[in-house]
Chain A
Amino acid sequence: GQSLEQPSEVTAVEGAIVQMNCTYQTSGFYGLSWYQQHDGGAPTFLSYNALDGLEETGRFSSFLSRSDSYGYLLLQELQMKDSASYFCVVRSGNTPLVFGKGTRLSVIA
């Protein structure tokens, strides 16, 4: 089967940097995605890593280590609007995408 572990909550200060971790167990791993979901909204795609290393998109970066079955999402220059839930998602072969339980990020002034 597949499983993902994420911390349930993280609090960070506006303007700071926050890292949200994800560890996974799966067979036939293809890649790791990250989705953002604001309260009452639908999840939206942030990033995808198929290879080891760091992918950067503006203030958001995502990292993957396939050998460690580990990834993280890094948010820089935090803004209040970044308060949301962040889900890591595993893609394995033709199986459905499996979502972690998500990390709820609270950005405080």
Chain B
Amino acid sequence: GAGVSQSPSNKVTEKGKDVELRCDPISGHTALYWYRQSLGQGLEFLIYFQGNSAPDKSGLPSDRFSAERTGGSVSTLTIQRTQQEDSAVYLCASSSTGASGNTIYFGEGSWLTVV
């Protein structure tokens, strides 16, 4: 696609339920990132996929969070047993390799509210 696409754009869920957030990166981009941003705060790194390498999961805040990337393209971030502190916007970004990989392109985010 022309840009990074994320869905759903908004999600309200009850505490304890599982949610899945989807990211469709720019075609051909090998790197994919998930970040989380609470209101008025900076971007918190969650997970990073680069090509066929093992993902860097060092930013995942707990084992309730997981992500996968199928076929080197679409990625899904899953949050199990959601808690109120999970409420945030979840931003996906992608980039190509080499010098042009210095620029990453963000989607519009998935706004998650846990009630």
Query: Which residue of B is nearest A96, CB measured?
Result: B48
Query: Of B15-23, B68-76, B77-85, B100-108, which stretch is located at the interface?
Result: B100-108
B43 within 8 A of A: yes
CA A37 to CA B59, docked complex, whole Å: 22
* Interface residue from A33, A96, A100 paired with B33 (Cβ < 8 Å): A96
Contacts across chains A and B counted by CB atoms under 8 Å? 43
Bitwise interface map of A from 66 to 108 toward B, beta carbon under 8 Å scored 1, else 0: 0000000000000000000001000100111111111000000
Q: Is the beta-carbon distance between A42 and B103 smaller than 8 angstroms?
A: no
* Cross-chain contact A43 with B45 (CB below 8 angstroms): no
* Interface assignment of A60: CB less than 8 Å from any CB of chain B: no
A35→B42 CA distance, assembly (Å): 12
* B48 to A, closest residue via Cβ: A96
Minimum CB–CB distance from B67 to chain A (whole Å) comes to 13
* Interface size of A as a range: 20 to 34
CA distance A99 to B43 in the complex (A): 6
Q: How far is the CB of A50 from chain B (nearest CB, A)?
A: 8
Residues of A within 8 A of B65 (CB): none
Cα distance A87–B103 when bound, in Å?
A: 13
Map CB proximity to A onto B28-72 as digits: 1 under 8 Å, 0 otherwise. Answer: 000001010000011101001010010010010000000000000
Assess the B91–A45 pair: CB atoms within 8 A: no
- B45: chain A residues at CB < 8 Å are 96-99
List, in ascending order, chain B residues with CB within 8 A of A42's CB.
Answer: 91, 106-109
Cα distance A31–B91 in the bound complex, in angstroms: 22
Known: A98-B45, A101-B42. 12 other contacts (CB 8 A): A33-B103, A42-B91, A42-B106, A42-B108, A43-B91, A44-B106, A45-B105, A50-B102, A87-B43, A97-B104, A99-B42, A101-B41
A-B interface, 4 closest residue pairs, ranked by CB to CB distance from nearest: A101-B42, A42-B106, A96-B48, A99-B43
